[in-house]
A and B are shown apart, each in its own frame.
Chain A
Amino acid sequence: DGGITQSPKYLFRKEGQNVTLSCEQNLNHDAMYWYRQDPGQGLRLIYYSQIVNDFQKGDIAEGYSVSREKKESFPLTVTSAQKNPTAFYLCATSRGGRETQYFGPGTRLLVL
């Protein structure tokens, strides 16, 4: 079964905690992306990676960190420095930088 999986579907975080959102793909795509979606706003790019062991900041990287140790995996850590982390987080992949992006099912993060 090919595709992109994100886990968990819902995640609750206490203030001051770091949490890590998982994104795994078996599409053999080189590029992976993390987006944040807030009500009434377009998706905003947090981080992206075009190749293993390399990643770049997007438009709203502050308070987030990522790693790309394997082609299949691109976990996103929401740190305590992110002051407004409640949002819907979407992971996407593509064959290359300007190719069609395929999206995972998303993780909804709520801060308690």
Chain B
Amino acid sequence: KNEVEQSPQNLTAQEGEFITINCSYSVGISALHWLQQHPGGGIVSLFMLSSGKKKHGRLIATINIQEKHSSLHITASHPRDSAVYICAVIGDKLIFGTGTRLQVFP
């Protein structure tokens, strides 16, 4: 079993829909990253959080340390949000999930 699990693996949505991507982990962590990887391969860090909730534009990330779970929400999704979203946890080392591929259609 992977130490970091993401769901769903693939997600399609119509423009404007509310999106939720989930990340569960089984190790002790000090913080959690949400990353975005575009089709060209480049990776951008969206959030690093260790408790509660963070918001940036249409993106919201939450984490529940007791339940070892984090969610990434996208409000009013847009085709330009199409990417792979990766969860990574910082414990003794950085452990990456396998990613959620999101496609948003107009």
Binding site for B on A (CB under 8 A): 40-45, 88, 90, 92, 98, 100-106, 108
Q: Is the CB of A103 within 8 A of B44?
A: yes
Given contacts A43-B86, A100-B33, A101-B33, contact A106 B42 (CB under 8 A): yes
Total number of B residues with any Cβ neighbor in A under 8 Å: 23
Chain B residues near A92 (CB-CB < 8 A): 43
Q: Is the CB of A98 within 8 A of B30?
A: yes
Q: Is the CB of A98 within 8 A of B31?
A: yes
From DSSP, what is the main secondary structure of chain B's interface residues?
A: strand
Q: Is the CB of A43 within 8 A of B96?
A: yes
Q: Is the CB of A42 within 8 A of B96?
A: yes
Q: Is the CB of B48 within 8 A of A108?
A: no
Contact with A along B67-106 (1 / 0, CB 8 A): 0000000000000000000101010011111110000000
Q: Which are the 6 A-B pairs with shortest beta-carbon distances? A: A42-B96, A103-B43, A106-B41, A43-B96, A105-B42, A42-B98
B20 within 8 A of A: no
Chain A residues near B86 (CB-CB < 8 A): 42-43
Chain B residues near A106 (CB-CB < 8 A): 41-43
* Contact partner, B40, options A44, A90, A102, A105, Cβ 8 Å: A105
Chain A residues near B64 (CB-CB < 8 A): none
Chain B residues near A45 (CB-CB < 8 A): 93-94
Report the nearest B residue to A103, measured CB to CB.
B43
Q: Is the CB of A100 within 8 A of B97?
A: no
Q: Is the CB of B33 within 8 A of A42?
A: no
Q: Is the CB of B99 within 8 A of A100?
A: no
